[in-house]
Structure 1
């Protein structure tokens, strides 16, 4: 049973023929703006990098690009009244030695662009095309490096009347769930309605305890000085093959049924996410070795998988669902590769599920306090980054829902991405892996053997 999304990669356009028409700054309204500094939690602190997402829209005769552009500009000004940090700048606080956001009203970036192509001429929106980076702006050329916006919006209109919203945000501003809420609030403002969910911007809700108390071992975290390897967040210059594996609802259902037959305890839920993550972990761990000699040694190697867990509802008291910061911690599971080869699939699913179950209120507070005592980052062999259930494509704008929403994908060997189905079937999933050729062959063989 073949699982690859496409047997051969599509011929990708190298040039989307995009011309930047205007770059400017959106400034918050003077009536609501108050200069202040915004505390960033220890979870926010380690996520100082840009995340770029693109939201593609079909043509709508009632909303030509020029009308959409003006509506977006006005709505974003209003949005910054509630999301005041979006107009600020990231600064190192000299007194604390920590990053915070200087809410100085310097402005968010706003870029207008045009493409000579139609939306259909872009081809496959699912397959990761590096040229999609032309639809997003992270750095404004007119500003110095230390004065770049935390948020930059680019609208690119296509020759057919369709358009793309490219949004670059520093990860300190939002996690996936709060970014989805931001998009829903933006949609409300575009419809000239109040915010659907007023944001909670108080990052001190995830402040470390005084004094900090690390009450658990945190195998998912490593100190900067203890690590000789690169963080999983960094790109690589190594040649990588990209492959997308599609799992249908029926295939995921069968994996769940198979796992449910063998799990040894009733304490872990057999979810779609857990079975897909277990599948990815097994395939990634067993794809590493190349020669027969390495194969034997590889089976004794310990593999660690990482994935994000929302902690809003796990804390006591619970965080507001509208919390804008990074309310996610890294869950982990670890095992020898031999166990991942020989154990029943249900046991691997169980190990993945135990990683999330481990994150209680006390565990979360311990991890945050660990960040107060040490400087470090999440570290493991593979990180599963799930965009599967975030629902960016479900946001209803005045001109309709996106045809597709996705991140701009870069060369990251140790990050496997999960995407929703382009047709909006949230029960199916695309698995995107980027690996050296020999490892990719082994990954694919393991993937297909496991789901067959």
Structure 2
């Protein structure tokens, strides 16, 4: 049976908020960070749930209705997600138009790879990146799951705040735009850095060559990112400049006081450059760490006042990459988000993953369910994937 016959669309409906959005909240302004950093595409994530007594004993029609009702409740709290995005004037029209809810049946078992024949359930979430970042999307899913469990709209997060534009007002961005994505044949590969592989990488970062500066207590995200970055450096000698990396930084915990409930793209893209054509692994880990630690409360507050320099830097970076003078690899980490706590009433997910991305050399980092490992989802050219797969298999082998 081919893939098309495995999946059957059962229904498509529009779910509206359970209560109308007040007239005083009908328009939400996009922030300067939404304008500047959000790529013009959707990044879906999927939550997989194994069958248990609650999903086997209750028919799929009842579960579907529970999900629809609770989605309606969650959209009342997260009302911009039921509106219309208008990037030309940097606003969201909170018109209560609703969100599309698609129901499908998958003719296979969840253990082999919506409603599965085995009773398992997969819930996919897809929202415009121009409106949400990872933290915003997780907060929405948490609210939806809480409503589905019968615990109201409020989950484990504080109610969302939609005033990011108050701190980062929209700017005149004429002449600047996210670079047009080239139509290239990309593949998405998943690499699981388990405890053993991460231990080998951390050891290499801590105990570098004699005379080198060691990195104390490297994190799993730092070493996994540096390993993949080193691969792209070694695989990109044809370009004029040394390949660079960028990492998405969640700004919520880095401001004082923290702003954990802010909805929108409260993120920054930090560019990190290697010091040579063939850097040591521990050097890349160190550069990754030092670069990310620069993003603190003072840095963020300065950006809110003096944004021209950052816009100029990001524009030059995009131009170099677009012209082929520089190769880059980017990372977005969900490793600290509580995605494995999202319980709709039939238990916690057994697996959470992204899907493919239309942007080349972009890596999503997910924490494994046990909390010890890292799953790296790498979107790249097929020629790059073959070499990375070989090096990954050799990682940790003495």
CA deviation profile, 1:124-155 (whole Å, cap 9, x unmatched): 3xxxxxxxxxxxxxxxxxxxxxxxxxxxxxxx
Task: Say if 1:415 and 1:433, in contact at 8 Å, map to a contact too.
Answer: yes
Partner of 2:44: 52
Whole-Å Cα distance in 2 between the matches of residues 12 and 45 of structure 1? Answer: 41
Task: Say if 2:221 and 2:365, in contact at 8 Å, map to a contact too.
Answer: no
1:348 aligns with 2:287: no
Matched length: 373
Whole-Å Cα distance in 1 between the matches of residues 274 and 63 of structure 2? Answer: 51
Whole-Å Cα distance in 2 between the matches of residues 335 and 31 of structure 1? Answer: 49
What pairs with 1:288-437 in structure 2 (closer than 5 Å)? 288-289=236-237, 294=238, 301-319=241-259, 321-340=260-279, 343=280, 345-368=281-304, 369-370=306-307, 374=311, 379=318, 381-421=328-368, 424-437=369-382
Cα separation, partners in 2 of 1:31 and 1:264, compared to 1, 3 Å: closer
Among 253, 256, 270, which residue is 2:202 paired with? 256
What pairs with 1:42-441 in structure 2 (closer than 5 Å)? 42-46=32-36, 47=38, 48-59=40-51, 60-92=55-87, 98-115=89-106, 117-120=107-110, 123-124=112-113, 156-194=114-152, 195-196=154-155, 197=157, 198-208=159-169, 224=176, 230=179, 234=181, 236-262=182-208, 264=213, 270-289=218-237, 294=238, 301-319=241-259, 321-340=260-279, 343=280, 345-368=281-304, 369-370=306-307, 374=311, 379=318, 381-421=328-368, 424-441=369-386
Q: Which range moves more in the overlay, 359-368 or 327-336?
A: 359-368
Shift of 1:393: 2.7
Structure 2 alignment gaps of length 5 or more: 322-327
Whole-Å Cα distance in 2 between the matches of residues 44 and 66 of structure 1? Answer: 38
Shift of 1:450: 5.9
Whole-Å Cα distance in 2 between the matches of residues 36 and 86 of structure 1? Answer: 12
TM-score under structure 1 normalisation? 0.72
CA deviation profile, 1:183-241 (whole Å, cap 9, x unmatched): 2222221222231332222223432599x9xxxxxxxxxx748x9xx45xx3x543345
TM-score under structure 2 normalisation? 0.81
Shift of 1:65: 2.0
Whole-Å Cα distance in 2 between the matches of residues 61 and 439 of structure 1? Answer: 43
Whole-Å Cα distance in 2 between the matches of residues 352 and 12 of structure 1? Answer: 43
Whole-Å Cα distance in 2 between the matches of residues 433 and 22 of structure 1? Answer: 31
Partner of 1:26: 16
Cα separation, partners in 2 of 1:440 and 1:45, compared to 1, 3 Å: same
Structure 1 alignment gaps of length 5 or more: 1-10, 125-155, 213-222
Over aligned residue pairs, what C-alpha RMSD do you find? 3.2
Shift of 1:53: 1.8
